[in-house]
Amino acid sequence: MQLLDIIIVLCRPAESGNVGAVCRAMKNMGLSRLRIVAPEAPLIEEQIRARAVHAGDVWEQAEHFATLQEAVADCPLVIGTTRRRGKKRKNLSMTPEEVAEFCFSRPGPAALVFGNERTGLDADEIALCNLASHIPVDEAFPSLNLSHAVQIYTYVLHRYFTSHELKDIPGTWKPVSQDEIERLVQTITNSLASIGFYKQAGRDLQERFFRDLFARAGITREEQMYLEGIFKKMSKLAEMNGSAYSEQSS
Amino acid sequence: MQLLDIIIVLCRPAESGNVGAVCRAMKNMGLSRLRIVAPEAPLIEEQIRARAVHAGDVWEQAEHFATLQEAVADCPLVIGTTRRRGKKRKNLSMTPEEVAEFCFSRPGPAALVFGNERTGLDADEIALCNLASHIPVDEAFPSLNLSHAVQIYTYVLHRYFTSHELKDIPGTWKPVSQDEIERLVQTITNSLASIGFYKQAGRDLQERFFRDLFARAGITREEQMYLEGIFKKMSKLAEMNGSAYSEQSS
């Protein structure tokens, strides 16, 4: 993908100054696609423009969404930035350099998601991301200002994308969107549910696993159809065989 | 050197918020030595602390100077950050990654100098730097916010220094300070002047050339004495030989 394929998504931003500084940090490095999800406080035009300086166009063209899910629906790949690690967090967390390398080698677009200034991304927001990324910091004071975190990512992305020759990505690799991945995952887990797969809880975790796996792999529509076919056929066969398969559980 | 050997110098900062954000950008990445030269407007404690958040200690320990020359007098190496290139600018300009690599492999301390928010470093300030460095940017809007520029350098330095094993630098390499380099350069050019070297103008440029060369090489006191000896002897010999040498010019 190219730099312009990377969409910066701000979840619940609270400070207008930060939003303006993000616009500047993006444009300084050749990015321009900004999406804003449910600001925590009203965004004040004047404060945004004062900090955006000559990046007012990034703000004017920003898209606004009520939920993160809607903001990333059309993105094949969603990367969540977080410094915290925990039970509900992704295990795999890339550095900014790894994000740049990963994005560079696949088709776009990709969403790079940043959380609220105080809280970062919450568990539900992270669950909507296919990959996690963190900025290596000094542990004495690990909390970066939002726009400075965006600046580090945009700098690293700009450096990587402008110093590497864009490979001729064959036009046949067109990863499907989050929406389509979600449909595929539902088809799979519905099929599994129909044969009594989920005796205990666990469907949620499995759906997230499949979703992230497919997004990271950048599966195409053809592959999506193929997978749907497999699981539909599987559940039909199970049905024909009566109760034989329903004994199995996760 | 180590991360703590890198001193961030702000020349004529005008915005208190930026100074606070610089403190945070430093501490997030394990730096703590800040020097402030002749603020353009009075710095407002409250605004600085609001943006520094948990990096108030960096601000408390900051050192204040009336001139850049005084601020870097004890530094063997002074690196000026600038995006402009021109006649009076240094020809060699390193990227942040090159700065990190160069600093890592030599003894500290080193000063990393940032200019005023509007104007950047002026020609006189750049002349006091031994090396220039620039942040690669998108040309559509190349002007970075001050604290965001500091953030990029501190991030790149932190990444480099924490991901490379510190080499065992022999304790014998102790580069002399800017003050001592200046004394050496004066000795050299005084010697050359005494034999009529500067028929036309050009002493200023030559002094700068020597100063940057010696700083980049990190010359030791022994080498300084040795060089001073050479030029003193040279001028004495020239004196004894009468007017023979005074015909030569630059």
Task: Give the strand order in the sheet containing B63-65.
Answer: B63-65, B33-37, B6-11, B110-114, B77-81, B131-133, B93-94
* Chain A residues in contact with chain B using a Cβ-Cβ cutoff of 8 Å: 21, 24-25, 27-30, 51, 53-55, 97, 135-138, 140-145, 147-148, 151-152, 155, 158-159, 162
Task: Report domain extents, chain B.
Answer: 3-163, 178-247
Q: Residue B151 is nearest to which of A27, A51, A152, comparing CB atoms?
A: A152
Buried/exposed code over A103-119 (b: 16+ C-beta within 10 A; e: otherwise): bbebbbbbbbbbbbbee
Closest-CA residue of B relative to A58 is: B141
Reported confidence tier of residue B85, pLDDT bands at 50, 70, 90: low
Closest CA to A247 of A200, A202, A195, A201: A195
The alpha carbon of residue A30 is apart from the nearest alpha carbon of chain B, in Å, by 5
Reported confidence tier of residue A166, pLDDT bands at 50, 70, 90: low
In this structure, of A219-228, A237-246, B174-183, the range with the lowest mean pLDDT score is A237-246
The alpha carbon of residue A78 is apart from the nearest alpha carbon of chain B, in Å, by 24
Position A47 scores a pLDDT of 97
Average of per-residue pLDDT across A58-78? 96
Asked if B231 and B191 touch (Cβ cutoff 8 Å), the reply is: yes
Is B28 in Cβ contact with A138 (below 8 Å)?
Answer: yes
Is the model's pLDDT at B248 over the cut of 70?
A: no
* Chain B residues in contact with chain A using a Cβ-Cβ cutoff of 8 Å: 21, 24-25, 27-30, 51, 53-55, 97, 135-138, 140-145, 147-148, 151-152, 155, 158-159, 162
Chain segment B89-113, per-residue pLDDT in tens: 446 788 999 999 999 988 889 999 9
Asked if B145 and A24 touch (Cβ cutoff 8 Å), the reply is: yes
Is B152 in Cβ contact with A28 (below 8 Å)?
Answer: no
Position A170 scores a pLDDT of 53
Closest CA to B149 of B119, B117, B179: B117
Chain segment B9-56, per-residue pLDDT in tens: 999 999 999 999 999 999 999 999 999 999 999 999 999 999 999 999
Is B155 in Cβ contact with A27 (below 8 Å)?
Answer: no
The secondary structure of B140-179, three-state, reads CCCCCCHHHHHHHHHHHHHHHHHHCCCCCCCCCCCECCHH
Q: What is the ipTM of this complex?
A: 0.76
Q: Is A38 left (phi over 0), alpha (psi -120 to 50) or beta?
A: left
* CATH number assigned to the domain with residue range A3-163, chosen from the 4 options 3.10.20.30, 3.40.1280.10, 2.40.50.140, 3.30.70.20: 3.40.1280.10
Q: Is B218 left (phi over 0), alpha (psi -120 to 50) or beta?
A: left
Angle at A197 between CA A194 and CA A198, to 5 degrees: 105
Q: Which helix (H) or strand (E) holds B104?
A: helix B96-104
Chain segment A126-157, per-residue pLDDT in tens: 999 998 999 999 999 999 999 999 999 999 99
Residues of chain A neighbouring B153 (CB-CB closer than 8 A):
none
